Amino acid sequence: MITRPSITFSRKVACGHIYATFAEFDNGTFHKLLLSGDMTKEAPCGSSVLWSFQKVLTFALRRAFKEGGDTLDIGLIKHLQHHQCNRFHVGVDKSCSDAVSKLVKQYLDYVKKRETKNKAETKETTEKK
């Protein structure tokens, strides 16, 4: 069995929680997105919507990282935000798509922070030589 490095983030939605696991290859490049949640039992759209998001976002993120541009990432997040579920109440994300957009943004911010840290460490190591 192949294990890959991954990181998981979660968000609360009206029907429960959504968990996003971003799997990466050993070199740190994006492999795929896995979405799950306890909300899949209560929401009429539940697992079907998460599975669809998972497939489309995995494809889009692979392209975004391959092309190395931030514009697709920003566009992707923008189009998932600001939809409102009919079960929405105060204290949770407006919808599953809104929560997923925040999870993707959180991962992209994490990747950028990690890359900045790695560049700084590489530069520091090079300067010591």
What are 63-86's pLDDT values in tens digits? 877 776 555 566 778 888 888 887
Higher pLDDT: 68 or 1? It is 68
Q: Does 46 fall in a domain? A: yes
Q: Does 61 fall in a domain? A: yes
Average pLDDT over residues 6-29: 89
- Please give the residue range of the domain that contains residue 92: 6-123
State yes or no: pLDDT of 61 exceeds 80.
Answer: yes
CA 101 vs CA 27, 116, 128: distances in Å: 25, 23, 41
What pLDDT does 34 receive?
92
- What whole-number distance in Å separates Cα of residue 109 and Cα of residue 50? 22
Could you give the number of structural domains in the chain?
A: 1
Of the pLDDT bands very low, low, confident and very high (cuts 50, 70, 90), residue 126 is confident
Spell out the alpha helix ranges (H) of the chain: 46-67, 71-80, 96-128
Q: Does 129 fall in a domain? A: no
What pLDDT does 8 receive?
95
Of the pLDDT bands very low, low, confident and very high (cuts 50, 70, 90), residue 2 is low
Q: Does 112 fall in a domain? A: yes
Q: What is the pTM of this model?
A: 0.81
Q: Does 1 fall in a domain? A: no
Which amino acid, residue 87? R
Average pLDDT over residues 24-52: 80
What are 83-124's pLDDT values in tens digits? 888 777 777 788 888 889 999 999 988 888 888 888 888 877
Q: Does 45 fall in a domain? A: yes
Query: 25 phi and psi, to 5 degrees?
Result: -75, 170
